[in-house]
Amino acid sequence: MLKQTGNSKLKVIPLGGLEQIGMNMTVFEYEDSIIVVDCGLSFPSDDMLGIDLVIPDVTYLRDNIQKVKGFVITHGHEDHIGALPYVLQDINVPVYATKLTMGIIEHKLKERGMTKSTKRKVMKYGQSVNLGCFRVEFIRTNHSIADAAAFAIFTPVGTIVHTGDFKIDYTPVFGDPVDLPRFAELGKKGVLALMADSTNAIREGFTMSERAVGRTFDRLFEENKDRRILVATFASNVDRVQQIINSSYKYGRKVVVEGRSMVNIIGIANELGYIKIPDSTLVDISQMNNYPPEKTVLITTGSQGESMAALSRMAADIHKKVSINANDAIIFSSTPIPGNEKAVAQVINELSAKGAKVIFQDTHVSGHACREDLKLIYSLVKPKFALPVHGEYRHLMAQADIAQEMGVPEENIFIMRSGNVMELTQDSAQVTGNVTAGPVLVDGLGVGDVGNIVLRDRQNLAQNGIIIVVLTLDRHNSELLAGPDIVSRGFVYVRESENLMEEAHTVVEDAVQKCLDRKVSDWGKIKAVIRDSLSDYIWKKMKRNPMILPIIMEI
């Protein structure tokens, strides 16, 4: 244990990754040192109209920039690295990660021209890095992407073990099994707190090995040898792609990779040696029609029903190079992320309507630890305090139950919220306050410029439409010179509602005339009168409430 000075306490501050799956980011602070574990994004919910990404609010880091020593990253999934290009613009400190994770991060930084300005260090398992008064050791774990790491964070008040996203896989497709002996050694020496992945804490049993899916692929390729096969999976699941390639090679099929993120990650993994592709197995999508359909396999993105992903475009007949037909077998090698079920069902229905055979049984195993795996980690690490992370509230609660079952006293288990400040000493833990935390919305190149008010306007526009009233006034003589003209979008189809629009025109004209007769010269008041009178008329007539935007021009 590093030397403690005075009565200082270790602060653990999650800025994301609780209350939801995604946007993982946790701050560790002791006196004048801060390290940050992960820097992820989440994807917008249905009510975030037009939003591309959601990243954590890093106001706290910005306010304490002189203390921040670096980011340590557990693995290369978007919900753990996706916010880095945005956050590093404000908090430009070194990034530490394993080889494949760093390869994916570097690709993101290259796209934004940030590789020269960002200091990076590739870490190996068993290596440690000293950051201020912290020492962080990288520990081998397994996950649905290679090179995942857990951290032993050595602090002046004790050791914190952070698992990152993990599973226990004794027969991984690439690399070695999780380093359970190291977890046991740390447990023997004494662990102050365990921060473990809660995603599958509600699932009984053990998580199956990734190799189980390989056996399923072999069977499905045998059963569908007369069909073209399309496999939809997560772009980042390199081991899954490896097994699809293995089965394709075994059955003499050529492989096409489609979807921008899939092409990028497979390219990086191939370059760094994390995937082995036999010579002449991979062909470009433009060459696909040179081979019989039953001798090709298409690996694609879109397993979550994302509207612009390759598979969704194929299902909707708007993909430029691939058309779905009745002799296709489409394998969904994933399970829907909570909230995506409807979108996935929609894509499956569209594919089925084209006569394609859709397969989704036994084609996926999770990358997250189930209850028995979590029990094993608790039995090895023997933490004094349990701080469940990575999951919705129900997942965190499920892990709290496991911790109690494994002997952690109830008063030593804490379900935190994003922004909570947890203060730890060798003997105590308590939430002592809150810092600014929450979602920052990214829309195009704008970061944080779309807030609740803009979203509310977008929802109003989406649900009710807009009416724009344009008129020209002579300010000196209080005369209406032109208009009012009424333009409508998303409210009614104007050509079929001429009477309504004529009456609306009269209502506005009367309202404006009344203002002019009363010598009202304040445009704000005239606009308010127009808005109120037209809104009342439309509500009485249609029971609708469109956004009304008066525009007054002056001559």
6 φ/ψ sector (left φ>0, alpha ψ -120 to 50, else beta): left
Average pLDDT over residues 168-182: 94
State the pLDDT at residue 29: 96
Q: Give the separation between CA 212 and CA 240, rounded to whole angstroms.
A: 10
Q: Give the separation between CA 159 and CA 162, rounded to whole angstroms.
A: 10
The answer to whether 32 is a known catalytic residue is no
Average pLDDT over residues 519-540: 80
- Residue positions forming the annotated binding site for Zn(2+): 75, 77, 79-80, 143, 165, 390
Flag whether pLDDT at 328 surpasses 80.
yes
Q: How confident is the model at residue 4 (pLDDT cuts 50, 70, 90)?
A: low
How large a percentage of the chain has pLDDT more than 70? Answer: 93
The pair of structure tokens assigned to 311 is 């598979």
386 phi, psi to nearest 5 deg: -115, 125
Average pLDDT over residues 212-228: 92
* Chain segment 288-299, per-residue pLDDT in tens: 889 999 999 999
State the pLDDT at residue 445: 62
State the pLDDT at residue 54: 84
**Active site residue: 57, 368, 373, 395, which one?**
368
State the pLDDT at residue 386: 96
Instruction: Go through the chain and tell me how many residues it has.
Output: 555
3-state secondary structure 40-100: CCECCCCCCCCCCEEEECCHHHHHCHHHEEEEECCCCCHHHHCCHHHHCCCCCCCEEECHH
Average pLDDT over residues 486-512: 76
State the pLDDT at residue 407: 94
The answer to whether 368 is a known catalytic residue is yes
498 φ/ψ sector (left φ>0, alpha ψ -120 to 50, else beta): alpha
State the pLDDT at residue 24: 93
Q: Which amino acid is at 460?
A: N
Torsion, Cα of 348, 264, 200, 428 (10° steps): -150
Flag whether pLDDT at 158 surpasses 90.
yes
Q: Where are the alpha helices (DSSP H) in 64-210?
A: 78-81, 84-87, 99-111, 180-189
**Active site residue: 57, 147, 169, 197, which one?**
197
State the pLDDT at residue 508: 81
Flag whether pLDDT at 6 surpasses 60.
no
- Residue positions forming the annotated binding site for substrate: 235-237, 364-368
Q: Give the separation between CA 175 and CA 140, rounded to whole angstroms.
A: 10
Q: Range with the lowest mean pLDDT among 3-17, 338-352, 421-435?
A: 3-17
State the pLDDT at residue 124: 96
Highest mean pLDDT among 19-28, 248-257, 523-532: 248-257
Flag whether pLDDT at 355 surpasses 80.
yes
CB atoms under 10 Å from CB of 511, counted, come to 21
* Chain segment 64-92, per-residue pLDDT in tens: 999 999 999 999 998 899 899 989 988 99
**DSSP H or E segment with residue 470:** strand 466-474
- Residue positions forming the annotated binding site for Ca(2+): 50, 52, 443
Average pLDDT over residues 240-268: 91
Q: How confident is the model at residue 308 (pLDDT cuts 50, 70, 90)?
A: confident
CA-CA distances (angstroms) from residue 3 to 6, 8, 154, 187? 10, 11, 10, 20
State the pLDDT at residue 505: 81
State the pLDDT at residue 361: 80
CB atoms under 10 Å from CB of 290, counted, come to 10
Judge if the upstream peptide bond of residue 484 is cis by omega within 30 degrees of 0: yes
Average pLDDT over residues 387-406: 94
State the pLDDT at residue 3: 56
Flag whether pLDDT at 339 surpasses 80.
no
Flag whether pLDDT at 484 surpasses 90.
no
Flag whether pLDDT at 2 surpasses 60.
no
Give the torsion sign (CA, 102, 106, 109, 111): negative
- What average pLDDT does the chain have? 88
pTM of the predicted model as reported, rounded to 2 decimal places: 0.84
Q: Give the separation between CA 217 and CA 221, rounded to whole angstroms.
A: 6
